[in-house]
Amino acid sequence: MAKIVGAITTSHVPAIGKAIARNLREDPYWKPFFDGFAPVHRWLERVRPDVAVILYNDHGLNFFLDKMPTFAVGAASEYRNADEGWGIPTLPPVPGSPKLSWHLIERLVGEEFDITTCQEMLVDHAFTIPMALLWPGKGAWPVRTVPVCINTVQHPLPSAMRCYKLGEAVGRAIESYEEDLRVVVIGTGGLSHQLDGERAGFINKAFDLEFMEKLPSDPLWAARRSIRDLVELTGTQGIELLMWLAARGALGGEAVTVHSNYHIPISNTAAGLMLMERRAA
């Protein structure tokens, strides 16, 4: 049977893509951010997941306001990145895992999550930057992927509790899959930031740190809050913490932090990184 080996949550700021392309990992601005990934790289080397289920939010590459799914699951044999309009380099196609995708789709719909299915799907920086951060410079990607996209563009957004429960259902679906696969669940986005309005530049370090501290042991601390309150606390784009809650939900039960990093600022964003595992029984 498939097994979830852990959950990784990370920011996905577009500027990271430019920094990787320009090889700025050792640059003083970037070093505290990139150095945070070394323990995660060692963990990935050791655990060697076969598949990554990636919970992310599209920013207007694949989905537009003409059709805006609340939850969408990719079911393609590969996922392509494309020009997003402001010049971050595109990445090579990422292999999919369509059989696992359809298993997730069956299980999620069976649990009353009425998701949209996508046999063709462009994946944007929220998917590709975490891939590039977690598996840098490998040429061929060492994992297959299943993208799960959550709408954070157009309100009403799904509630934080709904995203957490979606993650729980994703976790149950993965662990009911018959093939022996090691699966890592990845949630991308956040932490606090706001790009738009007179409050642009808003960052809430105190909230972010408490969120990261509570996520393994008490995810409902954040999940029970309203979208409106979470936007007030984390910013209009900080609401991307929904993906962290979903990834945490997939782990289920009790979890522990294996590694974390937090750095302000990357571009306009408080950048966070966590690696969580289930607490050993």
Partner 1 sequence: MPRPASIPGTTLFDGAAAMKGYALNKMCYSFNSAANREAFRQDEDGYCARYGLSPEQREAVRHRNVLELIGAGGNVYYLAKLAGIFGLDVQDLGAQQTGMTKDEFKAKLIAAGR
Of 12, 59, 103, 193, catalytic: 193
Check if the beta carbon of residue 172 is closer than 8 Å to that of residue 183.
no
Contacts to partner 1 by CB under 8 A: 15, 59-61, 64-66, 82-87, 153-156, 194-203, 205, 226, 228, 231-232, 236-237, 263-265, 267-268, 270
* Cβ-Cβ contacts under 8 Å for 46 (sequence gap 6 or more): none
Cβ-based nearer residue to partner 1, 156 or 253: 156
12, 59, 103, 125: the active-site residue? 125
Nearest distance from residue 66's CB to partner 1, in Å? 8
How far apart are CB 19 and partner 1 at their closest, in Å?
Answer: 13
What's the CA gap between 247 and 188, in Å, rounded?
9
Q: Which is nearer to partner 1, 17 or 249 (CB)?
A: 17
Shortest separation between residue 82's beta carbon and partner 1, angstroms: 7
Tell me if residue 263 is catalytic. no
CB of 72 vs partner 1, minimal distance in Å: 16
Residue 12 appears among annotated catalytic residues: no
Active-site residue numbers?
Answer: 125, 193
